[in-house]
Chain A
Amino acid sequence: MNNPHRLNPTSLKSRFTTRFLRALTKIRAQKPISSSSPTEIFRRYRRIKVAADKSMAYSVRSRRIWSRAMLCKLRSRSYRRQDPCSGRRSGKTNQAIMKKSSNENTTTRREDGVGFVEEADELRQLVPGGETMNLCNLLDETAHYIKCLTTQVQVMKKIADFYSF
């Protein structure tokens, strides 16, 4: 039975909120927010956006193809920051993910009149890890990804509103 007045500590929303607030605190502590130069603001914006995606991906962990793909991408970004030559390493990891998903049914291109191959490909560009998914996985992962995105938006909106006053 869900008590509507209590936030479930294990819910996705709760996990995301905790992580994201923690990340915001870190970002705020990193540099004194005295300068409002466009560069500084842009840097902060990038960090916050990455923190939002990171918080979401870590809240889902490796339970989903899309979250695994996103975690991989986030990790390779931080590797590249430290060492520009480690791009190859991240390439191998991506291939490992691709092998994992494409061993399953490969009928992504159906010639028996299904007729939405283009739309599916477009969707594949939008969902993390989508290029490696067969149609069934793509639809399933998309549903979960959308739920997570709406949670992300909802929480960020509440935080922004709260601190706007």
Chain B
Amino acid sequence: MSGRRSGSGVSSISDDQITHLVFKLQQLIPELCARRSHKASASKVLQETCDYIRNLHKEVEDLSDRLSQLLASIDTDNDQAAIVRSLLM
């Protein structure tokens, strides 16, 4: 391979596009978004993204666990549902 991009009729991804997408991702990660003006390296952004997603997965698991123990007291009739929804504004 001579390092050419295999197009097969489709335009290849430009470096700028990648950089832009990586930067967009950086702004979603709490660890990194403080450095809004400074672009972290793509490698760092992806690494932090993986850690962040793993944390979120763990949070979902912990919350599911918590909810499974609370389930007996959950009475999700229409009124309750409305109350909860109002809390989520």
Q: Which residues of B pack against A, CB within 8 Å?
A: 1, 3, 5-7, 10-13, 17-18, 21-22, 24-25, 28-29, 42-43, 46-47, 49-50, 52-54, 56-57, 59-61, 63-74, 76-77, 81, 83-89
Contact = CB atoms under 8 A, between A and B. Distances in A.
Contacts of A25: 74, 76-77
A14 B82 CA distance: 11
24 contacts: A14-B85, A18-B85, A25-B76, A41-B68, A45-B65, A45-B68, A48-B68, A49-B64, A106-B6, A107-B5, A107-B6, A107-B12, A116-B42, A119-B50, A123-B53, A136-B21, A139-B25, A143-B25, A146-B25, A146-B49, A156-B67, A162-B83, A163-B70, A164-B70
A149 B74 contact: no
A49 B42 contact: no
Contacts of A7: 85-86, 88-89
Contacts of A153: 56, 59-60, 63
A85 interface: no
- Chain A: interface size category: 35 or more
A31 B86 CA distance: 29
A21 B66 CA distance: 15
A150 B49 CA distance: 13
Question: Mostly helix, strand, loop or mixed at chain A's interface?
Answer: helix
Which are the 3 A-B pairs with shortest beta-carbon distances? A119-B46, A139-B21, A44-B68
A164 B53 CA distance: 26
A160 interface: yes
A107 B13 contact: yes
Interface string A25-43: 1011000010000000100
A24 B74 contact: yes
Contacts of A59: none
Given A45-B65, A152-B60, A126 B54 contact: yes
B50 A155 contact: no
A123 B77 CA distance: 39
Contact of B64 (A6, A136, A156): A156
Contact of B13 (A52, A105, A120): A105
Given A21-B81, A21-B84, A157-B63, A149 B71 contact: no
